Amino acid sequence: MDRIVTYSPAYTIVPTYECFNRCTYCNFRVEPGQDTWMTLEQAESILRQVRQQGVIEILMLSGEVHPQHPRRAAWFQRIYHLCALALELGCLPHTNAGILTRAEMAQLRLVNVSMGLMLEQMTPALLQTVHRHAPSKVPALRQQQLEWAGELGIPFTTGLLLGIGETAVDRIETLQTIAAIHQRWGHIQEVILQPHSPGSQQCWQGELFDGEQLIETVRLARQILPATITLQIPPNLMTAEQILACLAAGARDLGGIGPRDEVNPDYPHPTDAVLNQILLQHDWHLRPRLPVYPQYDTWLTPELQAAVTQWRHQLLSIPSPPDRAGVDS
């Protein structure tokens, strides 16, 4: 059976929504100082519930505290301790907290089975438009983080944000950049192709990324990127027909499926059971996966390897995607 599509049974923990970036398409952030950070006690209550529902991945998704802000160290320690707590309670953390220092990445590597950062687009032209007030969206900074992840041996997820003002040539350049970095380090396990989808909180008036261009971008990515990198598409941001067309073009993963897409809160995730029904009608088979791909298991610390091995044994006993009820976020 080779027509397999994977997904990660996931839940998103948000340490804080505050962020010093002001991307004009953002539907996630609040102003610095106007959000109460999640406590370990609050997280523990949530994690105990979702663990009972079969959640594997805890996506640690945070707004960014400025690197020079007095609260930066406390922000980083909160993320670290939340990841450690998720591990302790039996889940597998995957952190995407924006731009980090190399030292911060090295520390988080001890409590994460994988990490991620969207490259978005390599063109600096967006620094004059949607990223004008987003200092950590400088392409060179994000490219450096992908390089550091490779140097540190961190299984990594990155991706493109499509339809934010880039050109078709820009998309090719961004894909080529990812391919070149992976050729050096071999650490990029997934590339997400995420179409811009207008939300109720953003100030930019950009339109929904064209479906035909999305399918063509998937096809292009499959040609440019090494075959070992899995292409991921977000099923809540496209129609069933577009999902199937993207699979035909080379996508093979649907990302983390949970009760809420924190980045695109106006677009609820379909359940894994609903997705499975759609896919089965076209001879695709949906299967759960871990947030680290098997070829990277040996990159992890012994403690993380033990947790991953336990989950791999559990996955063998799961016959089909369960229709889990979500936990309110």
Q: What phi, psi does 313 have (nearest 5°)?
A: -65, -40
In this predicted structure, the answer to whether residue 212 has a pLDDT above a threshold of 50 is yes
The helix or strand, by DSSP H or E, that contains position 84, with its residue range, turns out to be: helix 72-88
Q: Is the pTM of this model over 0.85?
A: yes
Residues making up the annotated binding site for [4Fe-4S] cluster are: 19, 23, 26
Tell which residue, 94, 66, 89, 76, has the closest CA to residue 15: 76
Side chain identity, residue 112: N
What is the distance, to the nearest Å, from the Cα of residue 210 to the centroid of all Cα atoms in its chain? 22
Residue 219 CB-density burial (10 A; 0-12 exposed, 13-18 middle, 19+ buried):
middle
Tens of pLDDT, residue by residue over 98-154, are 999 999 999 999 999 999 999 999 999 999 999 999 999 999 999 999 999 999 999
Percent of the chain past pLDDT 70, that is, above it, reads: 96
Task: State residue 317's pLDDT score.
Answer: 74
Domain ranges of the chain: 4-315
Task: State residue 108's pLDDT score.
Answer: 98
Q: Is 233 helix (H, G, I), strand (E, B) or coil?
A: coil
Residues making up the annotated binding site are: 19, 23, 26
Class of domain 4-315: alpha beta
Residue 30 in tokens: 């609040």
Q: At what angle do helices 168-185 and 139-152 cross, to 10 degrees?
A: 20
